[in-house]
């Protein structure tokens, strides 16, 4: 009996970091502007879920590339990955979001490039 996946594929923060660093995947942060400004992964691309839900396209830096989709805790990124997959993108959810990213010791910067917060 085949297994059916109920949602988008998922990876750990460490796997997402490796794929972005080594394989050219884009870490797509779907949190809102204030969350992004407080702290995000270096090199991530910002595309708020609210904009995606309103029909906005991806930023140019994210088009045509595999996407590792991240939010604060993992709920919004699952929704965004499903939307993007439905639009034909290769979108994979990052389990646990930026909370898990920071807990794994991965870098977080603020809007000025200084050490950031995931709160």
| Active centre residues (catalytic) | 71
Kindly report the CA angle at 39 between 18 and 24, in degrees rounded to 5? 25
Alpha-carbon dihedral angle through residues 38, 43, 49, 51, given to the nearest 10 degrees: 100
| 43 touches 108 (CB < 8 A) | no
Distance CA(103)–CA(95), nearest Å, equals: 12
Nearest Cα to 81, choosing from 1, 2, 6, 3?
6
């Amino acid at each position: 009996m085949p297994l059916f996946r109920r949602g988008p594929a998922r990876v750990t923060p460490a796997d997402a970091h490796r794929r972005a660093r080594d394989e050219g995947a884009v870490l797509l942060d779907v949190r809102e502007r204030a969350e992004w400004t407080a702290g995000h992964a270096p090199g991530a691309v910002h595309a708020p879920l609210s904009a995606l839900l309103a029909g906005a396209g991806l930023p140019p830096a994210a088009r045509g590339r595999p996407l590792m989709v991240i939010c604060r805790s993992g709920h919004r990124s699952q929704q965004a990955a499903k939307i993007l997959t439905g639009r034909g993108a290769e979108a994979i959810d990052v389990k646990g979001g930026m909370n898990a990213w920071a807990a794994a010791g991965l870098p977080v910067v603020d809007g000025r490039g200084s050490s950031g917060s995931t709160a």
